[in-house]
Structure formats: structure tokens, C-alpha cells
Amino acid sequence: MNIFKVMASGKKSFQEETASAVLAWFLNPAMEHGLGFTFLSKFINAIAPSEDKAFSIFAGGLKSRMRVEDENQLRFWIDLEYSVDNSFVDIVMGIEDWLFSIENKIYAKSSTDGQLSLQYKGLKNKKDENQKISVIYLVPVSENAEVLDQKIERVFNQLSVDAGDFKTLVTWQKNKMGFPSITDLILEILHEESTGLIDPVSEYTRHTLKALITFIANDFSGYDYKRKNSSGGLNLLTEAKLTLGELKKKESGFVGVQAGLSGLLKMDKSRLETWSFQFTSQNMADKRNWIPLKQFKELANWLLGGEAPDMEWEGRFGVSALYKIALDYGDRVFIGVQGGEQSLKAMDVEIIQDKSWGISMEKTGNNWIAGSVFVAILMEKEFFVNMNS
């Protein structure tokens, strides 16, 4: 059993406030997890900017002091939903003369323009004269992602901090961009505990850490409960299984598709026209693999040869789906490839065919390739010819 997946299996999706509370529990050495200062120490050292020698010295000194495991020797406090002017920060920690502001996102779509700047301004108005501030933006990424979500990157880049302060980005999942991640931090703790490099922890804490890693890797999703006595794998809220023709007669609701948008984009015309999809009138807006009926109809019409729908493309898809989107949307979309256009040109077809990349309606850096350019590069490589040969 994974307690986090159970908590995420209700009508509402897993809440960011709950994720913040879980993280704050591990960061607080006084809590009953038995890790003492281990989690906090590793977190502070993970976010330490390499170019900031003063903070690196501070973090290194904390590491040795925390080994004493005496919170009375350290000025430390932590608070949730910390009020600053007209805003709230998910987690704020005070350690000696530093304030650590953690704005937590577990869903990329909840990123808000200007939020970090507003919070930073509020913290500056509230802090003591000699205190310095670290702003930590904790965000989701696709497992082993090569580039950031466009909106997340934009919000982070909007923030400017004063000299002596610093900002950093941390991801929940592993990434290939060099950012520290909560997953890597937990894996390091589990490894050190198993090899005797840190003191043993309780079975409960060990199980909780492992469950949290799995939950993070599953994008904070809950269990897909099945109907009693059903062998069809239907979601508990599924009301019927309907063909495309039958769905066209419905006015509202949600359509369940295995693998969500990615799965729908992989369907050929014959399968799309004959397949029976799960349907419900219940609100599944925050549930994985459920597509609003209106959007489903527009996408199905497009996949059958109709006009491309007016849609904001965000997410991560396989190359074939990205090619289909880029072919019809052209320079309205951008594909995120680490190293950008030159990197894609240098890749072998065998490598490309196993890739999945992010797509966005905005270009915020050189890693993002315009849709028309993406299509042109794949056509030059005769991608689909080589893939099928």
C-alpha cells in the first residue's frame, strides 16, 4: 500500500498544501521521523549555489553542526502558509541569519506569473535587517526531463533578487538539467542508511520515503479504482463505454483514454472510429488520462482529417505525436530538446525514435525548436522511412 496514492484517489487531486506539509515534516528535525537533521542538512547543501562561497561555507558549517543533533544549538524555525503582505509562501524556514522561502508546485499548470516576485518583496519587508533570503522554486518535471516547462521557466526568470540573496530551482522528480531534486535527496538518504553511513531509521520512515519516491514518479496520481466484479479495468466513476459516434451525441462530460492525450494521438483512424471509450458526466478535470468531451471531439475530428483545433499544447509526448502536432501547428508550437536545433540535427534516428520531449506555445530559450524547424529536421533525416525500414 502507498499511503500517498490512497490520499490522491478521492474526487479531488492531491493538493499542493498536503505536499508542502509532507516536505515540511521531513525538513523539521524535531518531528518523529527519526532522521534528525539529515533531511534538512542534505536539502540545504543541495541548494547551495556553487558560485556563492559565503553560503557554501554557511551550508558546510551547518552540516557539521547538525551532526550534533541538538536543535537548541541552532536558531531554526519552520512555518507553513507563511503570510507576507498580500501573499502566502508555502514553506518558510529560518536558519540562523537566513530565510528560506519554498514555493511548491506539484502541477506545472498552477505556476503563476509574478508570484515569486511578490513573495520575495513581501519577505524583504518582513525580514530582520541582517537576514538574507533564499527563494526556492520547487516544481514538477517529467522524469529525467531535459528542459523545463515553459511557464515554470518564465515564472522563475521573472524573479530578480538582491546581492547577497539567491534563488534556485529544485524539482520533485529526477531531471537531466543539473537541478537538485527531492527524489535524488531521498534516494541518497536511503542508500546511506542501508550502507550504515547514517544512523538507522525506523521501518515506518523508510517505508514512507520509498512510498513518496514512487508517488512523485507517478506524478502525484492516485490509484485507478476498478468497479467491483469488473474485469474491464473501468474507473469507478465510468458511466458507460461509448464509441466516437455515440460520444458526438453527448453535450458534456469527460472521456477516459489510456495514456491520455498521448494515447489518443497514437490511435489510427480505424481504431479511433471503432473503439469504445470510457465516459462519465463527473468532473475529472484533475484526473489523469481524462479528456474534456469538447476537447476530445475536436481532437478526434482533427485526427480523422479535419481542421486542427484551437488548443494550447503543453506537456510531454513521443516523437510521432510531436511530429503530427508540429506538422499542423507549425511555428505556433515549440519542442523542447536539450541542446536545441543543433542537438536534434546531430541525433541518430535510432535515438530520436525512443525520445519524448516537451511541447509549449512559447519559446523561452535556445532549447526550444519551432514546430516547422522540428518537422524539417525529421523530414531531412527521413525519420519515418528509416524508423519503419
Q: Is the pLDDT of residue 229 over 50?
A: no
Please give the pLDDT value at position 261.
Answer: 92
Local confidence band at 49 (pLDDT 50, 70, 90 cut-offs):
confident
Among 123-132, 135-144, 184-193, top mean pLDDT goes to 184-193
pLDDT tens sequence across 75-129:
899 999 999 988 899 999 999 999 999 999 998 888 999 999 999 999 999 998 8
Please give the pLDDT value at position 194.
Answer: 94
Please give the pLDDT value at position 11.
Answer: 66
What is d(CA 339, CA 160) in angstroms, rounded to the nearest whole number?
A: 25
Please give the pLDDT value at position 233.
Answer: 56
What is d(CA 11, CA 286) in angstroms, rounded to the nearest whole number?
A: 9
- Cβ atoms of residues 13 and 81 within 8 Å: no
Report if pTM > 0.95.
no
Q: Is the pLDDT of residue 51 over 90?
A: no
Q: How many CB atoms lie within 10 A of CB 49?
A: 13
What is d(CA 378, CA 318) in angstroms, rounded to the nearest whole number?
A: 13
Please give the pLDDT value at position 231.
Answer: 41
Long-range contacts, 55-63 (Cβ 8 Å, 24+): 55/134, 55/166, 58/96, 58/98, 62/95, 62/96
Q: What does 47-96 look like in DSSP terms, one character per residue?
A: H--TT-HHHHHHHHHHHHHHTT--GGGS-EEEEEEEEETTEEEEEEEEET
pLDDT tens sequence across 7-18:
888 766 789 999
Average pLDDT on 168-191 reads 96
Write out the three cell numbers for 235.
474507473
